[in-house]
Amino acid sequence: MGLFSPTLIDLARRLIDVSLKTNSKIVTSESCTGGLIAACLTEISGSSQVFDRSFIAYSNEAKTEMLGVPSKVLTRHGAVSEQVAMAMASGALARSHATISIAVTGIAGPRGGSLNKPVGLVHIYYVDRSLNTAHLEKVICGNRQAVRMETVHLALNLCHEQISIN
């Protein structure tokens, strides 16, 4: 068995298929998943037709330097926030040839959570060149691996849904 479940591989395949049909190109910017979304997409043969690139911006400095996330947004809202996910998605789109962008930031655990931002909290943000946007905030239960894999699932699903309706 590979790194990804058959369910994730099927979802990645469906996302690639709908991207081909709509002539969409994908960019990802990932924090808590550390490149797993990109890895899942590139597990599919032919993904190079729709997958442009990925940014793994784990540290706050990387978010600022690679994606242009304003440091004042990081200071005011924290790295795990809708505002930072939005800035990551927008920054990745601006720095790529893609037509759609999906960004994730979260607390995979087992440490790092707080009362206001518990372990398992993730923010997923979608934006496209037509400025359609979608945001998903969720607290995922489970260990670090479960949080990261469920975040991949949620991100792929959100992206698929948005391409399908836009």
In angstroms, the CA 115 to CA 97 distance is: 39
Q: Report the domain count for the chain.
A: 1
From first CA to last CA, the distance across the chain in angstroms is 35
Provide, rounded to the nearest whole percent, the portion of the chain with pLDDT above 90. 98
Q: What is the CATH number of the domain that holds 29?
A: 3.90.950.20
Residue 1 lies in a domain: no
pLDDT at position 2: 81
Half-sphere exposure of 102 (CA within 13 A, CB side): 28
Residue 79 lies in a domain: yes
- Taking the CA atoms of 158, 145, 65 and 39 in sequence, report the sign of the dihedral they define: negative
Question: What does pTM read for this prediction?
Answer: 0.97
Residue 86 lies in a domain: yes
For 92-130, what is each residue's pLDDT tens digit? 999 999 999 999 999 999 999 999 999 999 999 999 999
Question: Residue 127 sits in which domain range?
Answer: 6-165
User: Tokens standing for 3?
Assistant: 């790194």
